[in-house]
Structure 1
């Protein structure tokens, strides 16, 4: 990483040989210039709606560059409910160190301010070890609070490369709905039941997560209805979870769209739609071709200060525009 993140060497001496007036001989004026400002530390930020493969991309990059990952999903920061919150498993992490993942008390209030403090510490720690911090997650308001803090401390210290994994709205909605079915098969109902509390508050802590409050009525009523009614009630819960997940994806895209088009963030869009349409080996090959490969090139150029405007010009987030033009949810 020392080669990747080395300082640029610039000349410190500038020599002028002006002509003196009155016929006298010339004289040499040597001006010591101030040293160039220190190069900013590098940070990669991976964004995208829920279900687009942000975690997968972050792992792909962290296995190609010396890097560690900082989670920026506020719900995944909580301990517990690994299925409901769709936390990346130890196997999927492939040995890459993760920070702010599954460590906050489930009943605590994990605010944006707390996240900024913890994430800033993690980024500083990673950079001090000459590794690349990769911030990844779907809580775009938390990412915005960190990057565009009021004191501009983060921007003054770090240079950010923003990657955005994008999937067309219809394909993404279909995927997240299928993912909910898979979560049910993996034991989501029993996992949520273990957290159920008759006096539980769904306005803070991990109980805010989609997939928790939707079960409240079901758990309260399941002991008083027959099996046929229970089955129907469970189906209604699952449909509600799917609908709320699709709405979450739409809100996330809306925020990303604003960061690019209102705040001027330079996002490098990776369209993964075709990879999501395929299966098995073909899907993996498409993901490498459309997402991991181009992202690796962008990050490599970013780390080597090879910012070519033509090569790295942010692509318009065309599929996100569907959110702004009345796409169904």
Structure 2
């Protein structure tokens, strides 16, 4: 979870390559075909060969509801588990994830264990345009933590955004975001009861 531009897609692909995962998109706009630039949709090259579900699959003129989203989630999660892949849900629409977690019909939180990671960047690091979105996003995630008691791991990615040059940014990414998240997911998978064997690359 996290505001646009904080590295959710990059992290999900990095985690998927380390843990033999497949990614299920939860961004309300990225599920639709087209809109690549408007939604900051991950490019084919950025996918690192990782399979992505619900990314540009739905026709833009269709009435794709939260319930439709939940049905697709179940299908894709079960596909991942059958093939011993780790399902990684990523995106900017907490409302879809919240619907999926809390809906009594789908019973997600009773069927599956969850590990939430929130990539956050302090307001002082972002430009003014992103700051408004960040504040709204932070309040939404804090509500999920406080009211719904979601166990969210909070990763502060300031160092990544304060560096200049690709090598320095990549090093900050590995140290500040990727390694802590790899450790979080590894601990989660060791305690999960879905018998997914952990294969780190």
Q: Same fold (TM over 0.5)?
A: yes
257-266 vs 144-153, which deviates more? 144-153
1:199-218 correspondence runs (5 A): none
Indicate the residue corresponding to 2:16 in structure 1.
62
Q: Distance in 2 between matches of 1:274 and 1:147?
A: 32
Size of the alignment, in residue pairs? 191
Could you tell me which residue of structure 2 aligns to residue 299 of structure 1? Answer: 185
CA distance in 2, matches of 1:124, 1:274: 36
1:274 to 150, 159, 164: 159
2:115 matched to which residue of 1?
Answer: 161
Matched, 1:289 2:169: no
Query: 1:288 Cα shift?
Result: 0.5
Please name the residue that 1:104 is paired with: 58
Unmatched 5+ stretches in structure 1? 1-46, 178-242, 307-329
| Preserved contact between residue 100 and residue 106 of structure 2 (Cα < 8 Å) | no
> Contact conserved, 2:121 with 2:157, CA < 8 A, in 1?
yes
Deviation at 1:169, TM superposition (A): 1.6
Name the CA distance, whole Å, in 1 between partners of 2:105 and 2:67.
13
- Structure 1 residue 152, shift from structure 2 partner: 6.2
Task: Extract structure 1 runs of 4+ deviating beyond 6 A.
Answer: none
* Contact 2:70–2:106, Cα closer than 8 Å, also in 1: no
Partner of 1:255: 140
Which structure has the greater CA radius of gyration? Answer: 1
CA RMSD of aligned residues (A): 1.6
Cα displacement (A) at 1:257: 0.9
**Is the alpha carbon distance of 1:89 and 1:304 closer, same or farther for their aligned partners in structure 2, counting shifts above 3 Å?**
same
The CA distance in 2 between the partners of 1:130 and 1:64, in whole Å, is 14
Structure 2, unaligned stretches of length 5 or more?
A: 193-201
* Distance in 1 of aligned mates of 2:159 and 2:94: 25
CA distance, structure 2, for counterparts of residue 265 and residue 119 of structure 1: 19
- Give the stretch that moved more between structures: 159-168 or 108-117: 108-117
Describe the superposition over 1:197-250 as per-residue Cα deviations: whole angstroms up to 9, x where unpaired. xxxxxxxxxxxxxxxxxxxxxxxxxxxxxxxxxxxxxxxxxxxxxx5x654433
Alpha carbons 1:74, 1:110 under 8 Å: kept: no
CA distance in 2, matches of 1:121, 1:100: 11
**Distance (Å, rounded) in 2 between the aligned partners of 1:247 and 1:149:** 29
Q: CA deviation at 1:260?
A: 0.6
Tell me if structure 2 keeps the 8 A contact 1:49–1:250.
no
Inter-partner Cα distance in structure 1 for 2:80 and 2:178: 22
Q: Larger RCO: Structure 1 or Structure 2 (Cα < 8 Å, ≥ 6 residues apart)?
A: 2
Q: Report the TM-score when normalising by structure 1.
A: 0.56
Could you tell me whether the CA contact under 8 Å between 1:69 and 1:96 is conserved in 2? yes
Cα contact 1:75–1:85 (8 A) shared by 2: yes
In the TM superposition, what whole-angstrom CA distance separates every residue of 1:260-289 from its partner, at most 9, and x where no partner exists?
Answer: 111111111111011111122111111110
1:140 matched to 2:94: yes
Question: Is the 2:12–2:90 Cα contact (8 Å) retained in structure 1?
Answer: yes
Partner of 1:223: none
TM-score by length of 2: 0.90
Partner SS for 1:116: helix
SS at match of 2:37: coil
Question: Which deviates further from its counterpart, 150-159 or 86-95?
Answer: 150-159
